[in-house]
Amino acid sequence: MCESSHISIEFRATKPDGTLLYNGPMATPKFDENSDFISLELESGSPRLLIDFGSGTLELKLNGTVLDDGAWHRIDVFWDTEVYEHYCFAELRWKTDQ
């Protein structure tokens, strides 16, 4: 796995809740299987990032940021697993093109 990574997604949403991006197991992993995942969602119109690369699930929410208005939005997700051996740090940025 890369130590530093970046994902960018552009979208238009008119519903307040839904999954924008998911990468991870499709079924519940067995005890000894890899369960790393990343999920980017809208929850009540606000972006929510869930990410786990082995050190526990990190949740980032931008409450009060409404992105289900039908306009084009771009979300950039940056994360780094190298800063500390057992932790994952993530940053969420968004841009609205109106």
Enumerate the domain spans of the chain: 4-26+34-97
Backbone φ and ψ for 68, nearest 5 degrees, come out as -105, 35
Please, which pLDDT band fits residue 21 given cuts at 50, 70 and 90? Answer: very high
Q: Which of 2-6, 51-55, 71-75, 86-90 has the lowest mean pLDDT?
A: 86-90
CATH assignment, 4-26+34-97? 2.60.120.200
Contact status, residue 14 vs residue 70, Cβ threshold 8 Å: yes
Q: What is the pTM of this model?
A: 0.75
* pLDDT exceeds 50 at position 23: yes
Is 19 a residue whose pLDDT tops 90? Answer: yes
Q: Tell me the per-residue pLDDT of 27-50, one tens digit each, with 9 for 90 and over.
A: 776 666 667 888 999 999 999 988
Residues 6+ apart with CB under 8 A from 48: 40, 41, 42, 59, 60, 61, 62
pLDDT of residue 66: 87
Rounded to whole angstroms, how far apart are CA atoms 48 and 77? 11
